[in-house]
Structure 1
């Protein structure tokens, strides 16, 4: 169903629908899509939808805020690509902690080649859980990703070769800790291995093959036991490029900023021809996150760990209908699906 929405600021109704669709293409923990929007004549308000929280893996809603920050970055990029300036206010009302951002599309701005490049990447970005090739990511590309993270008050660290074995050990420890928790396993089964008609969660078709070797970087089975057999010769790459997104503090503002930094890195990586997936267990388990902080990011708080490389195309994960992400009363009219 296509949802007709009201004009907002300098954007017409169809443009509002377009930029909201771009916003909801952001990644989220287990594809939970924990965001909702409210429209006023002057602003798009972004809220955390805590009813869609992944409570066991993310009890403090840190990853929920990262996801909403990624959606916010997509929204900003999409608005700028229309030649409109997105004026953004983060956490504007302490009495409404679920109100994460107010975006006022107002006035006009010159659309730069970078605006177009990032906007085009929104529709092509995927979480790629398949094995990557053994081709090494050039250092110049990683340097560029570090620079774009800084634009969002975030920092990206790339562990050197000496630290990678220790990091892999931490990832394995975190994975094993979670697998010993029946509540985590039950929650994991709820969100993964979804059928083709599910509008959220991780469908089996995007889950990737089941890892076979505990020394591999990718340990999680997103298929809930339905993974297809490994193709001979298509092992997970032994030494992917690893990027850790970090912040100077660990308050909600930092989580929103890190989500925007993470998404700017992901969109830039996509535009550069790179694939990416998440190694989230190590930042979900308290003890391994603390050790990761000491190991990699020099005292910064690690917020997300990315695996980067060159992968084959993968299908997109599904998204809920836009009307289901808008507050009641925001739908002006509905028209039949085309």
Structure 2
């Protein structure tokens, strides 16, 4: 049986879910548009919200849009629809990142195992220190399987790998600190206190590590251009994982974004927090050195820091009317419980 055309309320709910995805500097570089028959949704790249100096190839931009695609898949299941996804369906239109056919009813409203829909509203970047509590092997295995289901390899690093990745991230952070253009670009996404729809307000920045072991990105610059958050002592040896693909094309980046969000939502369900250490993938040489040589040719797309700790502060979000081309007055609210 073919599902009915998407209603205005359903389109708003889908766009709100897609718009809750993570993105570099909270740039939110996406737009959503219903198909002509309203049985599906197009996901378009909003290049006006790119971060071109830090992300010249658009890799992080595609990862962000891929995360939005996965949120749409989860929301579609919540609506009782199956999402059939075509990535980059039109070679003549590279801004069309994906098209989702939502015409078929869902056979399973929980196609990803646990119910991930409530986690969309609860998933936040946690840039605060984590505890020394180990993540159980069963949960880590579930996260590995979740990434693999999206065609991406999640490698949970042992101590040597963690220290190597921390060194590369520190090297990249210092290099970025010396790059005035990158510093200016990052500062352009900082937002003052008060209502805002994108970017990084002070509440979401997080502290620096008092002992300089965990190289958290300094959004305020070196030296800071505004009062820097106070330092705190981070976990001595963080739990890190890398997401990698065998090839390195826009479709791989979109798949990685979906894998990242699937892993992150599942981690949220299990009470595990996450944040991204992105600095080392922003420079070609440090990114190449992130890979494990014995694993053969692989392209690390992302480094995740995982652990138990504070949930993180919600980042501001653009209203549905700005990201859904088919706009309506009603503003949906994602679940809070």
Tell me the TM-score normalised to structure 1 length. 0.90
Query: Unaligned regions of 5+ residues in structure 2, if any?
Result: none
Query: Unaligned regions of 5+ residues in structure 1, if any?
Result: 1-7
Conserved in 1, the CA contact under 8 Å of 2:67 and 2:257?
Answer: yes
- Cα distance in 1, alignment partners of residues 176 and 65 from structure 2: 24
178, 193, 196: which one pairs with 2:194? 196
Conserved in 1, the CA contact under 8 Å of 2:131 and 2:309?
Answer: yes
29, 34, 40: which one pairs with 1:34? 29
Conserved in 2, the CA contact under 8 Å of 1:194 and 1:201?
Answer: no
User: Aligned pair in 2 of structure 1 residues 201, 248: CA closer, same or farther (>3 Å)?
Assistant: same
- Cα distance in 2, alignment partners of residues 297 and 15 from structure 1: 44
159, 162, 167: which one pairs with 2:160? 162
User: Aligned pair in 2 of structure 1 residues 25, 297: CA closer, same or farther (>3 Å)?
Assistant: farther
Give the equivalent residue in structure 1 for 2:299.
301
2:84 aligned counterpart, secondary structure: strand
Deviation at 1:258, TM superposition (A): 0.5
315, 318, 326: which one pairs with 1:320? 318
Give the equivalent residue in structure 1 for 2:43.
46
Deviation at 1:43, TM superposition (A): 2.0
Conserved in 2, the CA contact under 8 Å of 1:279 and 1:306?
Answer: yes
User: Aligned pair in 2 of structure 1 residues 118, 320: CA closer, same or farther (>3 Å)?
Assistant: same
Conserved in 1, the CA contact under 8 Å of 2:162 and 2:239?
Answer: no
- Cα distance in 2, alignment partners of residues 335 and 78 from structure 1: 17
Q: Is residue 63 of structure 2 the alignment partner of residue 62 of structure 1?
A: no
1:150 aligned counterpart, secondary structure: helix
User: Aligned pair in 2 of structure 1 residues 296, 185: CA closer, same or farther (>3 Å)?
Assistant: farther
Which deviates further from its counterpart, 174-183 or 294-303?
294-303
- Cα distance in 2, alignment partners of residues 27 and 124 from structure 1: 12
Alignment of 1:165-244 (within 5 A): 165-192=163-190, 194-214=192-212, 216-223=213-220, 225-230=226-231, 234-244=232-242
Tell me the TM-score normalised to structure 2 length. 0.90
Deviation at 1:251, TM superposition (A): 0.5
Conserved in 1, the CA contact under 8 Å of 2:50 and 2:58?
Answer: yes
Deviation at 1:180, TM superposition (A): 1.1
8, 11, 14: which one pairs with 1:13? 8
- Cα distance in 1, alignment partners of residues 165 and 88 from structure 2: 33
1:162 aligned counterpart, secondary structure: helix
94, 97, 100: which one pairs with 2:97? 100
- Cα distance in 2, alignment partners of residues 298 and 133 from structure 1: 33
User: Aligned pair in 2 of structure 1 residues 205, 246: CA closer, same or farther (>3 Å)?
Assistant: same
Q: CA RMSD in A?
A: 2.1
1:175 aligned counterpart, secondary structure: helix
- Cα distance in 2, alignment partners of residues 266 and 256 from structure 1: 15
Which deviates further from its counterpart, 62-71 or 139-148?
139-148
User: Aligned pair in 2 of structure 1 residues 94, 245: CA closer, same or farther (>3 Å)?
Assistant: same
Deviation at 1:75, TM superposition (A): 0.3
Conserved in 2, the CA contact under 8 Å of 1:275 and 1:311?
Answer: yes
1:311 aligned counterpart, secondary structure: coil
Give the equivalent residue in structure 2 for 1:4.
none
Which deviates further from its counterpart, 286-295 or 171-180?
286-295
- Cα distance in 2, alignment partners of residues 297 and 305 from structure 1: 16
User: Aligned pair in 2 of structure 1 residues 111, 294: CA closer, same or farther (>3 Å)?
Assistant: closer
Give the equivalent residue in structure 1 for 2:149.
151
- Cα distance in 2, alignment partners of residues 288 and 258 from structure 1: 19
